[in-house]
Structure formats: structure tokens, C-alpha cells
Amino acid sequence: MFSRVRRGNLVLSERAVLSPHSVGVGMLFLCLSIPNPMLAAQEGSQPDVPPVFLTLQGTWEGSGTLLGRPARFQMHWEIVGNGFVRLGYSNSWVAEGGDDIPVLSSQATYLLEGSSGLGVWIDDRPQRLILDVAVTDSSVITIWTAEAEVGRTEYVVQSNKEVLVRDFVSADDSERLFAEAVYRRRTSSTNADGASTAAPSEGRLLPPGRD
């Protein structure tokens, strides 16, 4: 099992300076960015990850608030194999006229073992966050740390088609909610050529009463 390390409370910075951190986790992200024929050969086999990621896999679109302003969100979960999971994420504020104002885009890689895991998040501020993960059948709780940031993100599966995500930052010995959104699985649509684009697989079905 992975050990858990919590750092002291730090204030969220808008554009923290990239700093040297946890070389082992950084190498984890680098290795996952390089195509691996061994992992490709395992496609179609039973994923070696906690069941909640079978539900999360695919593309989700969310609406909610970011730093007190209306916002839109998108996340895409991908099970890579051998306990690895990738997350692509972006958010944007919604202008008065309805246009999107991009705020953040990022990529994260997780390595899971049982009900815990570790990972690394890199975004376009630029910033790198080290991730410490706790997993249940219906949630993924991530403690993230950097030189000038400490916080927590909760991904809570409400049903096979809905996920609640909340982001907190630590400041002054307390946690502050700075983003909250309800995500719904992206449905099929029509692309620019008029062809139908199928929705991603809905993954593992939750127990009766959770759908």
C-alpha cells in the first residue's frame, strides 16, 4: 500500500512557480507519456484498477462554479493498464453572453494499488501537483500538494451518468471550497461531417438504487 504524507496548510497561488519535487512521481508521468507496446497488447483485458474507475472512464461535462463565478468543466478518464489511469481536465468561466473564457487545462496520471494510489498533475499555469489518492466504491479523494498549494478534490459518483466534483484549498488552518460542479456523461452527438459520434462506454454498472 502507498504511504500518505500531508503537508502544512498553504495559500492557493494563481500562478505558482514550478519547483523540483518527488522525482519518482515525475518519472511516473514521463513514462506514461511514452507509448508502451506491452500496455497496448493488454487492451481488452480486465483493468487492474478499483471498480470506481470503470464507472468514471469516458468523457464528462460539468456545470457549476469556479472561484464564485459560473463555470463549465470537462474531464476524460482513461484506464491505461497495470494500475495506471489518466485524467484530462479543463475548466472555463462563462461570460455574460454565454461564451467560454478558458481558465485551466491539465493532464494527470494515477498509479493505483488497492484502495490508495499516487500520481502527478501538470497544468498550463504551469504548475505540478503531487497527488495522494484514497478510493472507495463510489468516490476518489485526492490530496494534492505543491510548493505553494495544498488542497483536496472529491470525485463522488452519484449514478452511472452523474458525478459531483468539489475542490478545496487549505488556508489559515481551514479548507475553503473554491470549485463545485455536477458532471454528466457526454451523450452521442453529430460531428462536422454529419456522422454520429457514439457516447463513451458507461463502464461498470452501480448497484441497484444508485442509477
pLDDT digits 0-9 by tens, 151-174 = 999 999 999 999 999 999 998 888
Q: Could you give the CA distance from residue 63 to residue 76 in angstroms, rounded to a whole number?
A: 15
Write out the three cell numbers for 71: 463555470
Q: What is the bridge-based pairing of β-strands 139-146 and 84-94?
A: unpaired
pLDDT block averages, 10 residues each, the chain of length 211 = 42 34 45 46 62 97 98 98 97 96 98 97 96 98 93 98 98 92 83 48 42 49
Element holding 148 (H helix, E strand): none
In order of their start, the domains of the chain are: 51-185 (2.40.128.20)
At residue 46, the pLDDT reads 52
Q: Is the pTM of this model over 0.85?
A: no
The predicted pLDDT at position 60 comes to 99
pLDDT of 8 reads 40
Give the 3-state secondary structure of residue 134.
strand
pLDDT at site 138: 98
- Predicted local confidence at residue 48, as pLDDT: 86
Alpha helices in 23-178 (DSSP H): 23-32, 37-41, 52-56
Amino acid 175: pLDDT: 93
Note the pLDDT of residue 193: 52
pLDDT of the residue at 45:
52
The type of residue at 194 is: G
Pairing of strands 116-123, 139-146: unpaired
Give the number of other Cβ atoms within 10 Å of residue 37's Cβ. 7
Whole-number pLDDT of residue 34:
45
